[in-house]
Amino acid sequence: MYLALILAILATLSICLFARPLAIKLKVMDFPDGGRKRHKTPTPLIGGLAITVPMFGVGIFISTDSSIAGIFIALAVAVAGAFLIGFADDRHDLSPTIRLFLTFVLCLGVLSNDPNLILGILHFSFESSLSMGRWAWPFTLLAVIGFIYAFNMTDGMDGLAIGQALIWSILLLIFGDNDLRWFLIILSGVLAVTLCFNMAKRLFLGDSGAYALSIILCVMLIRSHGNVAELRSDMIFVWLLIPVLDCLRLIVTRIARGTSPLSPDNGHLHHHLSSLLPNVFVVPAILVFIACGGVLTIIMPEQTIIWLVISIAIYFTVIVVAERKRHAESG
């Protein structure tokens, strides 16, 4: 496995080092437009390739000697499929309807592969459980598709999406699901390398990377939730609070404005924080917030509901303060 780790990191490093010629060859350069795309120079949308290639290989490799080979095979196929959907969007700017349909088909195929990937029972830290019954399938499908879009929405500032994924991978490692241990270790190494190049503005994650990463995280979280007794549903929600809550808020506000829930805008949390903090502090602030919430649920799991309430309160406080500042400046 150490050799697999080294090879995966070398593959990621090689792709990152040659990001520009690869992006030109694959026609996935992201050009600034003076609007939402405010980066200074054309940037390769190659982060997805740097993550997908090694993790696809690792999934296949681990499946050859694992008691849960089906999970890793499904994961490898899912990563490849999600990458292709995102890659097509990076190149051809697919319509939201087509992206949603393709994502639905992919998730349906992945979840149909293994009953262990269906959230049949939700376990909570306050010693209570909720059986989903006949709603288990649609709930899981909705949760996975929703998280894919929520995670994709966070990919608006350098380091934010990859940094979140790295934090969640480390949190899952702490819980010690031995079946996933090496996959998560290698994933963390691959993410750390890609994050360095992303923060150096050498490449962007792209939709290909956001889709592939979100599929990986969904499978890892669902599998760990069902296999690790200490990992509770409300703990996971605290970990994922920022992207999920931000997505739900944006859907509501966009519908209220009469626009599509999938239409892009500048109403994300990182946009609001940018009006309150210098840009250099925005991503670190969000990542520290996510990491602190995760650590608190681990060291004091019985207080998870308290961390959840506090986190939601802090989130909406930031939104309200930022909105008031915007109105005051525009007025």
What is the predicted pLDDT for the residue at 75?
A: 87
End-to-end CA distance of the chain: 60
What is the gyration radius of the CA atoms in the chain, in angstroms?
Answer: 19
The Cα-based distances of 108 to 49, 166, 176, 222 in angstroms read: 23, 26, 28, 15
Is pLDDT of 249 > 60? yes
Q: What is the pLDDT of residues 56-83, one digit of tens each?
A: 999 999 888 877 777 888 889 899 999 9
The string of DSSP codes covering 47-67 is HHHHHHHHHHHHHHHHHTT-T
pLDDT at residue 234 above 70? yes
Share of the chain above pLDDT 90, in %: 56
pTM of the model: 0.93
What's the number of domains the chain is made of?
A: 1
Lowest mean pLDDT among 60-74, 132-146, 162-176, 315-329: 60-74
**What domain range is 19 assigned to?**
2-330
DSSP assignments along 125-140, one per residue = TTTEEEE-GGGHHHHH
Cα distances (Å, whole numbers) of residue 246 to 146, 191, 217: 12, 23, 18
**Which residues, including other chains, have CB under 8 Å from residue 45's CB and lie 6 or more apart?**
23, 28, 29, 30, 90, 203, 204, 205, 206, 207, 208
Q: Are 225 and 218 in contact (CB under 8 A)?
A: no
